[in-house]
Amino acid sequence: MESIVFLDRSTIGPSVTISRPDFEHTWTEYETTDSSQIIDRLSEATIVITNKVPLRKAVLEKLPDLKMIAVAATGFDVIDIDYCAARGITVSNIRGYANITVPEHTLALMFALKRSLVGYREDVINGEWEKSGQFCFFNHSIRDLAGSTLGIIGKGRLGESVAKLAEGLGMNVQYSGFKNPEDVPEEIRNSPEAMSGLVPFDEFLETSDVISLHCPLTAGTRDLLGMAEFQKMKRKPIVINTARGGLVNEADLVSALDMGLISGVGFDCLTSEPMAEDHPFKTILDRPNVIITPHVAWASEEAMQILWDQVVSNIENFSEDTPSNVVC
């Protein structure tokens, strides 16, 4: 009989129905788990569910009964994939569940920043409307999305879903070419679909009014945007990140905002979550052209239920020797 342990239930919203696999098993779940508790809690586990609790070699090698890791997310950087592959531990992740929620959040950030909604809301609260003495006032820039150029970094499902919404609004969409073409994996380089229509990276930076990131965090994409890139952004774009913390050098982004190289920031993913006290963004949180959300772009109630149902499906498929969404 399988022993299933869910390490971090609190990372899935309380409205989600936590169904369980349809086979005989024992079930243990914890709201949160810190690093000192992992080995004890998984000592007899054969299947573990984790969202953000890391499972590295030093922990995994002390869990001889573990057969499967069900990651309750798309990203699996918290798992030592090489060790799992070497030991025959199956790792499955979640795919395709966020194709509505993340693009909608991305567009919401675009609308709010382009139309200065945060600034005008604060002005109304602070009595600026009354001070103006007329039916409206113009303390902040208001720009249309229609007719502007959206630059997307990442041509996967999420990037393409954002593009579809943006095109419906009348935006011109372009996809970024690779910053370092020599680092492009061979399977992507040899894919006409993946490589078609990409704008050279420097041209992409120069011609985008909004830049939105939808790519994974890898050694090749870490600090993809830094000061050298911001200095090439001739249109002073809004920069939006609903993908992964680490894709943008956050200290450089603050400097770029101060220097007027970019016109706004909409981030849902940071290098430290929650935000550390010394995080560079702490100095810009109160600005009307900055919106930081707490990694919730993925978390519509509908999307979280789809995610959980897929977690259970991955576990059931593993138990039937037909594993799905296999990472390794």
Domain shared by 92 and 144, yes or no? no
Q: Is 108 in a helix, a strand, or coil?
A: helix
What is the count of structural domains for the chain? 2
Residue 324, in any domain of the structure: no
Residue 110, in any domain of the structure: yes
Sheet containing 172-176: give its strands across. Answer: 198-199, 172-176, 149-153, 210-213, 238-241, 264-267, 290-292
Specify whether 25 is catalytic: no
User: What type of residue is 248?
Assistant: V
Domain shared by 86 and 114, yes or no? no
Nearest CA-CA partner of 236 in 143, 313, 120, 326: 143
pLDDT confidence of residue 184: 76
Domain shared by 184 and 216, yes or no? yes
Domain shared by 123 and 87, yes or no? no
Q: How far is CA 176 from CA 44, 122, 131, 211, in A?
A: 47, 35, 45, 9
Residue 185 and residue 178 in contact, taking contact as beta carbons nearer than 8 Å: no
Domain shared by 72 and 124, yes or no? no
Q: Residue-wise pLDDT tens for the chain (328 aa)?
A: 999 999 999 999 999 999 999 999 999 999 999 999 999 999 999 999 999 999 999 999 999 999 999 999 998 989 999 999 999 999 999 999 999 999 999 999 999 999 999 999 999 999 999 999 999 999 999 999 999 999 999 999 999 999 999 999 999 999 999 998 877 777 777 777 777 889 999 999 999 999 999 998 888 899 999 999 999 999 999 999 999 999 999 999 999 999 999 999 999 999 999 999 999 999 999 999 999 999 999 999 999 999 999 999 999 999 999 999 999 9
Domain shared by 71 and 115, yes or no? no
Query: Which CATH number is 55's domain given?
Result: 3.40.50.720
Residue 76 and residue 279 in contact, taking contact as beta carbons nearer than 8 Å: no
Residue 123, in any domain of the structure: yes
Q: Whole-angstrom Cα distance, residue 149 to residue 166?
A: 9
pLDDT confidence of residue 190: 74
pLDDT confidence of residue 189: 77
pLDDT confidence of residue 218: 86
pLDDT confidence of residue 72: 98
User: Among residues 273, 301, 302, 320, which one is catalytic?
Assistant: 273
Residue 327, in any domain of the structure: no
Nearest CA-CA partner of 46 in 66, 25, 61: 66
Domain shared by 63 and 150, yes or no? no
Domain shared by 10 and 74, yes or no? yes
Residue 328, in any domain of the structure: no
Q: Whole-angstrom Cα distance, residue 167 to residue 328?
A: 36
- The parent domain of residue 162 ranges over 101-292
User: Among residues 105, 214, 229, 244, which one is catalytic?
Assistant: 244
Specify whether 273 is catalytic: yes
